Amino acid sequence: MNLELIYPVFILTGLVIIGVLIYLRSLTQRAMRTVLEMIDLNTKLEYDLHQFLSESLPLFEKLKINDFFYTIHYLDTTLQKPKSRPGKPFEKNIQRKDYKITIGIVPRHSRGEQDFLNTIVLEILSVIIEMNVLIKIKVIHEALYKFSKLQTFILHDVKNLAQFIGSLSYNVHHLETDEKKDRFIDYLKETLPVISRSGAKIIGLLEMHGEADDENSPGISVDLNSLLENLAKHYKMPCAIKGQAIIQAEEYMLISIFDNLLKNIYEKSLQESDVSCHIELEDLGDRTRVVISDTGSFTAERSRLFEPFYSTKKGGLGIGLYQAKNAALTMGGDIRILPRTSGVAFEVILPKPEEG
């Protein structure tokens, strides 16, 4: 064999191989760039499944895909786009307990190297869609869970209030004697602060995340000593109060803060013996500082105590302390937990509105 003929054949073959590799590289790069665009789009749309399905359609054109079809079923919702163009489809089915996904693409060309890329595109697309479905399910479950906790939190007081009104109405119609009338009024006098506390708690919760409106809601002058004494009395807790403070604020906001903090100590006192509470009030000029501490056990996970829907108690909703912190922040103040070796100490800082 003439060796002189073999060299050009080798060179030609080498050139063809290089040409094919360059072609495949450019094909793959183009496809991967578009797939990355698809991933970026999904991130930009915050993993919203509906938006991704509609806004990703132009990218399929870039990938030389004529048609994209799907049937996605999750949480009693079905999203569907049937196959509308002719051609050999590439399909993928995913079936899990909470969802079922069928997606397919119809490529413009169906050659060897294109088939390989089409399979990769389909796999990546299915991962994106499955991830979005999972996020959607998780978000919905969490929202329902949180809603149900909030509902439980409010319903407990609202149902008691409704029962109170029903019983009150019954009693009003059964005041046959003067002695009964007097006793009825005595009961009402004794319990009205509790009713207004319940009302404040409900309003405080419904107004969570509200903006403080200084112009329209200057509040009233509230004697913090008296408010804290009454709350501690309500929980039948011996509470030593040091210092004096008067603050200009909406009373229901203050009740939202201090009722939740004292309730926390009261509930601890039902599970542990000899738990007492201490309150210190301090005027810092432009702010008022209140420290509420207990002598009970050390609470683990202090950093998470204000986290919404987090509770260290079995059956706890994790709303009380979150509501207290939220009310303090709305007023332009804050609550934090002071480092202590035993018990828990809450430091409440509340601003004093400027005079005049």
What residues between 20 and 39 interact with another protein by CB under 8 A? Answer: none
Binding flag, residue 44, another protein (CB under 8 A): no
> Which stretch, 2-10, 36-44, 81-89, 312-320, contacts another protein (CB under 8 A)?
312-320
Q: Angle, to 10 degrees, between the axis of helix 178-206 and the axis of helix 224-234?
A: 110
Task: Tell the smallest beta-carbon distance from residue 281 to another protein (Å).
Answer: 26
The answer to the question of residue 165 lying near another protein (CB under 8 A) is yes
> What is the contact mask toward another protein in residues 242 to 281, using x (rule: CB under 8 A)?
---------------------x--xxx-xx----------
Residue 54: count other Cβ atoms within 10 Å of its Cβ. Answer: 11
Considering beta carbons, is residue 2 or 169 the nearer one to another protein?
169
Please count the residues of the chain: 356
C-alpha span between 10 and 32 (Å, rounded):
32
> Taking contact as CB under 8 A, which single stretch among the options 78-86, 193-201, 208-216, 324-332 is the one that binds another protein?
193-201
Per-residue contact track with another protein, 194 to 213, x per CB under 8 A? xx--x---------------
How far is C-alpha 170 from the geometric centre of its chain's CA atoms? Answer: 42
In whole angstroms, the minimum distance from the beta carbon of 156 to another protein comes to 6
Cβ-count burial of 108 within 10 angstroms (0-12 exposed, 13-18 middle, 19+ buried)? middle
DSSP classification of residue 333: -
Residue from 94, 97, 120, 96 nearest 107 by CA? 120
Rounded Cα distance, 195 and 166, in Å: 14
| 170 touches another protein (CB under 8 A) | yes
Number of residues lying near another protein (CB under 8 A): 37
Closest distance to another protein from the beta carbon of 322 (Å): 13
In the complex with another protein, the residue whose CB is nearer, 2 or 177, is 177
Least distance CB 284 / another protein (angstroms) = 33
Taking a C-beta distance cutoff of 8 angstroms, is the pair 321, 299 a contact? no
Among 6, 139, 143, 192, binds another protein (CB under 8 A): 192
Footprint on residues 210-239 left by another protein (CB under 8 A): 234
SS3 readout for 62-123: HCCEEEEEEEEEECCEEEEECCCCCCCCEEEEEECCCEEEEEEEEECCCCHHHHHHHHHHHH
Among 317, 328, 348, 350, binds another protein (CB under 8 A): 317
* Token pair recorded at residue 196: 């207004």
> Residue 215, CB half-sphere, CA atoms under 13 Å: how many?
0
Q: Which stretch binds another protein (CB under 8 A): 6-14, 84-92, 93-101, 186-194?
A: 186-194
| Closest listed residue to residue 93, CA positions, set 81, 104, 79, 82 | 104
Give the residues lining the site for another protein (CB under 8 A).
152-153, 155-156, 159-160, 162-168, 170-171, 174, 183-184, 187, 190-192, 194-195, 198, 234, 263, 266-268, 270-271, 313-317
